[in-house]
Structure 1
């Protein structure tokens, strides 16, 4: 029988426990232990953790109840994985917003490692998280990046050809429109060292609608970007001219028949009428848009059918509707086909995260428009968990209440000049106008109001009227009118007589009408807001290691019928050329039947789709010339159904 511990032993045990506690409390990293998956009950925390979250009474309480704002920030996703897999999880430089006693939220960046603790039977019973506040390090790097961007470029410094090319091929800005707010972001694949073929665009149509476009050209590099540029130019020209989606798609389809690099490109084109919310769209082999109502659950629109350019599948249209406040998100497939993610799971995660962002449940950035939060925070939350190996383009549109025109009726006195400038500034900023455009229009309109005050009435009482309106073509029109008499300008001197010339220089267009009842001067100026070309460092933490690329295995399968091969692994931009060469050899240039089993394909990107389309159209053998097989629910079957690539879900033979 074992003796119970004496007083001396108890003192030693108590002393050891005190030392352990002191050491645990003194650890500079924040340490927390949680139990119960989904509940995350805190069973141990140290002083650094309590300081990080600025709370003392946390033991025994549920982390998800203590910090509900972190649920939508996907922080607890880090805990789900080790509970599920039993493997250690690491996150680097995650941005987390923590509430403070002042009522404000504070951005904190953390490095975090979560280690599962297991029972003797191998069951995960507890997680221990080690978090380090690296906010200062991230802020220093962000400041250095800003300084580098603002500094004057050294003539001897190498030019970022990829960045320059990508910026030239993306829209310089998105139009500012009445009743419709637009935001767009583009994130190149990986390190952004090669130009890509994804893009977005917004084109005001002649009938007051706006065409929203997201497209994806197969492959990467200069050839893909050049093909993207040509498709975008043709599409924009046709949409601007006629506003007919079907006609514009037919035009780029003809281009694809002459331009091999454009074949198998996918497009989503949606025409939205901000006046009544009517939406007409086509998903040409492309994922359908996500509709996020201001009230109610998010939902993906149904596919309109049709296939990629050059597939001969046609371009049928579908319709839907947006209420005021609703948001529509168009995207390229890189956001749902991230590394290690099944397409179906990635699609569901996109809907959930985008809905949380749109509802303001994620990161508070009230200075950003809703569409800008949707296209940046959604990227940040999804990409930081899995990384990305494909370009991602996001375009968001929100239907809003149309702005009232600016109407001023002022006495033709000197006080009217600053009053008109101030009212115009406020009206333009409410539209979301960039500062440089506000300055230009302020000067142009100021010169016109000055002319009316000083010259229209020749010293007699009168009035000057200012009317400003934003048009459905992305232009602002400002009229300055008076009831006086037109006076031909004198020969201008150094300080007088240059008002009209200056107003003309400040705006895109100036038109003056004179008559016996007065003068009306109208300036027109195109308004845009910037589109964002992001870098991986802006939306995702740096990679912890350089992972080796995943290999594509091509295995020959014995069969009594036509030859058959099986693919295992990703069919993406890195492996597409390998597959193209294999298919050419196996089909002897398209003269021999071949069955391709895609059961083991883990990822089928646009580059892989282009190769399969090419082989399907090239092969001309009797019987079953080229047969693609993928079981129902597999990643390849999901993608091939979406892009209308002919295939079978029934096991051949």
Structure 2
């Protein structure tokens, strides 16, 4: 039996007489409770939940050894700060990933907690008590409720809409340079801010990265931000001259009170050799994170804020392959409870850890997206934030290989080309919207080559796609045949017209040796606009099944069917047959739910036009339902085919 105040085998000193009861209560606590000693945070006590968190035998070991992820995920800071200051630290819904094995996808766990200093009789902090509780279910339930469709009059929803309109719709996809951005709205409940970012492909093959900050919030600041961004974007796009673009923005700021003294950093990167030219017009300098090294801040160029009469000198540097460059607004530095010096150090440390893969594992994200999103999350969750925060990152990468397809010109080439193009574009990081536009436009061109280029036997159709330094993708579809018209082919002729509606530019060259159709389309990748540090991973790109499913749907009114999958030349006949059957040759009404249609080609449009005309002539109109934003909605709008975006019930 232990004597009074003897240690037990976990290193705790228990009161005489009731040690067993205290131990039972301590171990039964549902939260993890861990006692730590010294500046290195050596574990001296842990209840059952704490041992489950740290491992079966944590006593006498340092937290850094027990939880290697703690450093990269900024958990050590939550222990270092209260040990140094004596001020307790609260943790609210921090996302952590602990103990993931090699090659295993880690699980996200959300924790609440408190870290309380333990003091010696003279008041000196000698250790800590950490209490941690798993609140993953609570966080996920709340997020599920947020994702549920609901009407909203929340002022912050309106602010988010406004900010999306003022910021660029996306970031360019460029060969050899990956660009990613995240924007976190400030805490002001009903005011958009004046921070912004932009990325502009330059005429000489370089790309300009821009992050700026207009003081204040509200309509005036947002309007000034929008005007400055437009001027800078236009001048950079037209001339590629950084100093000249800043001078033009400076003249505008001098005439516009709300824009005066706005700060901006512009950095032009050459993907070919990593050369970097930049100007910090009153703005914090860029952060360069070498591949496998520690981040370093570049020297400020000495330029003053816009509208103050300052010159805009440039400085030079260079990025090596794999290096990342981070531009940011000062909201990430000047967070509550942090002076600028501490905030600057924390930003460099967090960015280094994220770039090295020592923070949160999110392998589905590009490195530049991890850098901007995780750096925001790790820093803001510890302190909160008051101002808007803009982060923009670029990384030198290997240029992507072009997509090259050489296929037999038969119907199987159409879905094969569509699938290969989808996968290639998603690998580039393109927005789902751009993928859908190109899928439809290029699909029409491949269909034309299959159906009109050759007689029997068929020849080949070739597809080549590559991104350009101006932020567009160029796709060529070519054949070596001659145009053949089909008798009684009343459903065709819409292909080229539809293709031109889906893409920015379409050119067709015909010659005795064949036809080449060239598509050019601006390609963007998404940037993140966040309204809280409640970050979630993007959805995986949707699959594009080749099977067309047509199913009955219960309906109290007219008969109703749902169509899922691609409606193209390979499946249009199936849809035509079903529509004739369900409408009994046009003699009864029918509702067609096109929500699940992944691809609606000209052949499918022709079938729907035909069915709509037939049923309307007999007094039993066809009701087509395509939700706003769906592939079918865009195609039907382009084709001027009447439809509803409201579910008819």
Q: TM-score range by the shorter chain?
A: 0.7 to 0.9
Structure 1 position 500, deviation (Å): 1.4
Q: 1:525 aligns to what? A: 521
Q: 1:73 aligns to what? A: 73
Q: 1:300 aligns to what? A: 297
Among 217, 224, 235, which residue is 2:232 paired with? 235
Q: 2:328 aligns to what? A: 331
Q: 1:22 aligns to what? A: 24
Among 153, 165, 170, which residue is 2:151 paired with? 153
1:167-210 Cα deviation digits (max 9, x unpaired): 11111111111111111111122244311111000111122111
Among 490, 512, 520, which residue is 1:516 paired with? 512
In structure 1, distance between residues paired with 2:261 and 2:244 = 18
In 2 relative to 1, CA 415–522 (structure 1 residues): closer, same or farther, beyond 3 Å?
A: same
1:48 to 2:49 alignment: yes
Q: How many residues align?
A: 524
In 2 relative to 1, CA 397–34 (structure 1 residues): closer, same or farther, beyond 3 Å?
A: same
Q: Secondary structure at the match of 1:536?
A: coil
In structure 2, distance between residues paired with 1:128 and 1:13 = 18
Q: Secondary structure at the match of 1:241?
A: helix
In 2 relative to 1, CA 70–176 (structure 1 residues): closer, same or farther, beyond 3 Å?
A: same
In structure 2, distance between residues paired with 1:13 and 1:508 = 78
In structure 2, distance between residues paired with 1:447 and 1:66 = 58
In structure 2, distance between residues paired with 1:498 and 1:452 = 14
In structure 2, distance between residues paired with 1:511 and 1:327 = 37
Among 322, 327, 347, which residue is 1:350 paired with? 347
Q: Secondary structure at the match of 1:538?
A: coil
Structure 1 position 487, deviation (Å): 4.5
Structure 1 position 314, deviation (Å): 0.3
TM-score normalised over the length of structure 1: 0.77
1:502 to 2:498 alignment: yes
Q: Secondary structure at the match of 2:108?
A: strand
Deviates more, 1:16-25 or 1:528-537: 528-537
Q: 1:32 aligns to what? A: 34
1:341-379 Cα deviation digits (max 9, x unpaired): 221221111111101001110111111111111111111
In structure 1, distance between residues paired with 2:458 and 2:87 = 82
Among 234, 244, 247, which residue is 2:244 paired with? 247
Q: 1:535 aligns to what? A: 531
Unmatched 5+ stretches in structure 2: 5-13, 537-649
In 2 relative to 1, CA 189–419 (structure 1 residues): closer, same or farther, beyond 3 Å?
A: closer
TM-score normalised over the length of structure 2: 0.77
Deviates more, 1:214-223 or 1:531-540: 531-540
Q: Secondary structure at the match of 1:197?
A: strand
In 2 relative to 1, CA 489–226 (structure 1 residues): closer, same or farther, beyond 3 Å?
A: farther
1:284-327 Cα deviation digits (max 9, x unpaired): 11111001111322111111111001222200111111122111
Deviates more, 1:83-92 or 1:229-238: 83-92
1:133 to 2:151 alignment: no
1:372 to 2:374 alignment: no
In 2 relative to 1, CA 132–204 (structure 1 residues): closer, same or farther, beyond 3 Å?
A: same
* CA contact 2:455–2:484 (8 Å) conserved in 1: no
Q: 1:470 aligns to what? A: 467
In 2 relative to 1, CA 158–330 (structure 1 residues): closer, same or farther, beyond 3 Å?
A: closer
Q: Secondary structure at the match of 2:336?
A: coil
* CA contact 1:31–1:131 (8 Å) conserved in 2: yes
Structure 1 position 435, deviation (Å): 2.8
In structure 2, distance between residues paired with 1:197 and 1:101 = 43
In 2 relative to 1, CA 527–491 (structure 1 residues): closer, same or farther, beyond 3 Å?
A: farther
RMSD across aligned C-alpha pairs, in angstroms? Answer: 2.2
1:558-582 Cα deviation digits (max 9, x unpaired): xxxxxxxxxxxxxxxxxxxxxxxxx
Q: 2:122 aligns to what? A: 121
1:313 to 2:310 alignment: yes
Q: 1:84 aligns to what? A: 84
Q: 1:636 aligns to what? A: none
* CA contact 1:492–1:498 (8 Å) conserved in 2: no
In structure 2, distance between residues paired with 1:195 and 1:438 = 30
1:448 to 2:445 alignment: yes
Q: 1:185 aligns to what? A: 182
In structure 1, distance between residues paired with 2:272 and 2:105 = 37
In structure 1, distance between residues paired with 2:267 and 2:381 = 29
Among 205, 209, 213, which residue is 1:212 paired with? 209
